[in-house]
Structure formats: C-alpha cells, structure tokens
Amino acid sequence: MSDSPAVNAPLDPKEKPILDSLLYIRDKLSLLKQDRSTYIKSKDVLSLYSDVVKQVHLLNDLRAELKKPLEQSRVDNVLEDCFQLISLFFLTIGRNNEAPAVYAMCSTRLLDHLSEANFYSAKDLDGIEGTFKSMRDTLERGKDTYSPHLLTLLGNRLDTCHLILEELYRRLQNLSPELAPTYEKLVSILRSMAACNCRHNFPATEVRAFQDQLKQMQATMVDGKFLGADGTAPMGQEIAVGLLRRCLLWADICLEKNGKIDERFKPTYDKLNEIRNQLEKLTLTQAWSLRETDLYSYQRQLDRIDESRIDGNFEDMQGNKADLHAQRTLLYLIRRSYAYIYTLIRSSEPVSEALLPVFNQLQTLRRCLLEVKKSGGVSSPRELYPYSMKLTSIDNMRVDGKFMVGSDIPEGQGSVNALMAECFDLTYDLRVEAEENNTLED
C-alpha cells in the first residue's frame, strides 16, 4: 500500500522506529479490511486503535524533545492512512457516534473543491454545517473516554473545516434573498449540464434546453442586471451575473465538444468516470453492499489524481495544460466522487455489519408498514399475518434480548431493537384500526 498523496519531508532517524510500527499497523488494518470471511469485530478495531494512539504519543514526545512539533514527514502520511482506516472501521462496527469515527468526516477535500469551484448554494453549506455541529457534539461526549491527543487532532481538523466553511458563507453574504432563487437555479443548471457532459451518450437536446433557460433568464435582465419585483437591482448582481456567464460559456463548450474529451486526458477521464459510477451504485445499494472501509481505496485513488494537478491544472505528459473543457470535466468527476463519499459516510447507520442483514430487513418491513398505513390501512387483521410472522421470526433470533453472532454481541443492539419495536407498534396500530373498523361495520 502506498502512502497518502503528500510531499515527503526528510525523515529524522529517531522517527524510524515509529514509522516502522505505523507501517506494520497499516498493513494489519489493510488485511483486516480485505478479509470478507467474517464480520469485523470491535475488539480487533479497538486493539489497533490503541496501537496507533501509542505511536502518536511517542511521536509527540519525540518532536517535543527535538523542538519540532509542527514537522511533517512520511510518518505523518502513514499516520493519516492509519487514522483514516481506523475511522472507517469505527463506522463499520457501528460506533458512528464515537470520536474516532469523526476523522473520516472532517476532511477538507470537499470544502476545498467547493471553494475552488466557487459555485454552491447556501443549502449545500447548511447541510455541511449541521454535520460539523454533530461531530463537535461527538467530540465533547468522548472527552472522558478517548486520548486527548486524538481529540486535539480532531478538534484542529474541525477548526480548519469551519474556517473554510465560514469563508464560503462570506462569499454569499452579499446575495440578497430576492436574488437567491435565481442564483440557486443557476447552480442547479450548471451542475446538470456538467452531469450531461459526462454521460456515455451526450444528450445535446437536454443541454440546448438548459441553454434556452439561460437565455430566457438573460433576456429578463435590464442593463446587464437582474431586477427585483420593485424594479430595482437587488444586491448580489456580481455573484449571479457572473454565474450566468459561466453557465452560458459552459453550454457553448459542451455543445461544441459534444461530450468528447481531449484524447490526452482520456485515461484519467475513464478512471474517474469508473470511480464515480461505482460510488453512485453504492449510494443506491448502500444498505446491502457497503462496508465503509471500502471507501478508503476510492478516497486514495481520488486523492492521487487530485494531487497530480500542477498549480490546479491537469497537464499531459509533455507538461501542456488541459483545455477548459477537459479541466472542468475532470474536476466535476473528482468533486462528484468526493460528494458521494461524503454522503455515504454521513448516511452510515450506527449498526455493526454483523447486524446489517437484520437491520435492513426491519427497515424494509417498516417502509412497507408505513406504506400500508399511508394507503388507508388493512381491511382485516389477516392481511397483517405476513408482517407479523416476519417480525416474530426476527424477534426469535434474539438471545436474552440481544442479537448474537456466535458468542459475540455486535454493536448496534439499541438501533435494531428500537426499529423492531417501531415495527411491532405499527403492526399493532394497524390491527387495532382494522378491528375497530370491522366492529363499526357490524
């Protein structure tokens, strides 16, 4: 396994034992990640987490002794890999609400790309801010349980994320509420055209339809400005008008290229397109097929391609920069993939993979019962027999109120039991309602 993409500074000889230990731990984490013969056990993850934290203590003490607390070397790159894997393992075993699980979420990659792209809506930022607040709460709950070294590291990463988020909010502060719907529509159109540009069969008709919408919006402008209901120009013209120009330019470029990327960048495009498609498929089948540690390899592949840019630009083997179409196309695929990873991590359920089959069955059962309730209930309690039988069979799997796998008690018992209780309540309510209706008819 290669390191996280970063420039490796010279390694101080005294750090060599720590590096060797971290490489060994990373190899063990990698092997555990690849082992599909059994589910991942909490004790294995916690043991490796303790090993990593021990090396962090040694590294901090050594650098304090050498008076180089902020030095970065290959040790830091390997440590990043270890923490990233540990964090994803915590999600896999269902310990989503504990401090180590936060590490995978508080990456600046997605925020950095939002900042670089410079088009996003306030709704995008509000969702991310809510996630960060939840992570702060998680760190606060873990202050008496986890290493202060880890909590400081995570706190610093969250602080960095918040600084970027505040800057993104600041860029939108001059956008008036009256102009916000126009701006958000432009954001949606630009994203939709970027998605069209990456389809296997380029949908020129759809792109022309978006182009027509843009021209209609442009036609409503007076003296190059969007006007409000009272005939005045609301604040934020520079933001909205600038984005309109970008949209019109991108529509022209997409139609000119007809979905064909520069051949020099075709291999990178194909690789990114494959990653994007695989991640998109995972978002559709997440409950049944995702092991959160699988996201690590996708992250690292994206990181390496992203880090291969020179001054923000993709270049060919001869050092020639990509044209605007290739540049934006590749960046769209990178950003979309990072967004999928963020979504998959955020929507991870706090249930061990050992209990996911049961949890998923209960979720499906719950959705069915809610649909039955929404459609008016059942005419006879007999119609609920299939649901009751399924619930009873799942309930009978418990031993002393717990779902067991051999002699192990996997994480997520509370979530599974709460979901099952909700299904029992829905079934009971539907049965009572059906019996009452039958009594009234009699």
Q: Where are the alpha helices (DSSP H) in 10-121?
A: 16-34, 42-65, 74-92, 99-105, 109-117
User: Cα 72–73–75 angle (5° rounding)?
Assistant: 110
Q: Strands 398-399 and 402-403: what pairing?
A: antiparallel
If you write DSSP's letter for every residue of 415-432 in order, what string do you get? HHHHHHHHHHHHHHHHHH
* Residue partners of 325: CB distance under 8 A and separation at least 6: 253, 254, 257, 261, 262
**In this structure, are residues 251 and 189 in contact, taking their beta carbons and an 8 Å threshold?**
no
Spell out the residues 6+ positions from residue 97 whose beta carbon is closer than 8 angstroms to its own. Answer: 138, 141, 350
CB 312 within 8 A of CB 334: no
Q: What is the CA radius of gyration of the chain?
A: 26
Write out the two tokens for 392. 């009873």
Tell me how far apart the alpha carbons of residues 40 and 292 are, in angstroms, rounded to a whole number.
Answer: 11
Please count the CA atoms within 13 angstroms of the CA of 215 that sit on its side-chain side.
8
How far apart are the C-alpha atoms of 135 and 124, rounded to whole Å?
17
Q: How far apart are CA 79 and CA 190, in angstroms?
A: 38
pLDDT at 194: 96
pTM: 0.87
**Between 148-172 and 122-141, two packed helices, what is the crossing angle to 10 degrees?**
160
**Burial annotation 96-115 (CB, 10 A radius, 16+ → b, else e):** bebbbbbbbbbbebbbebbe
Secondary element (H or E) of residue 370: helix 356-374
Distance, in Å, from the CA atom of 315 to the CA atom of 164, rounded to the nearest integer, reads 27
| Kind and range of the H or E run holding 399 | strand 398-399
Q: Give the helix/strand (H/E) hosting 348.
A: none
Q: For each of the chain's 442 residues, which pLDDT tens digit applies?
A: 555 555 455 567 888 999 999 999 999 999 999 988 888 999 999 999 999 999 988 888 888 887 765 666 788 889 999 999 999 999 999 999 999 999 988 888 889 999 999 989 999 999 999 999 999 999 999 988 898 888 888 888 899 899 999 999 999 999 999 999 999 999 999 999 999 999 999 999 999 999 999 999 999 999 999 998 888 889 999 999 999 999 999 999 999 999 999 999 999 999 999 999 999 999 887 666 788 999 999 999 999 999 999 999 999 999 999 999 999 999 999 999 999 999 999 988 899 988 999 999 999 999 999 999 999 988 888 999 999 999 999 999 999 989 998 888 899 999 999 999 999 999 999 999 988 887 766 5
Q: Is 326 exposed, middle or buried (0-12, 13-18, 19+ CB in 10 A)?
A: buried
Backbone dihedral angles phi then psi of residue 194, each to the nearest 5 degrees: -65, -40
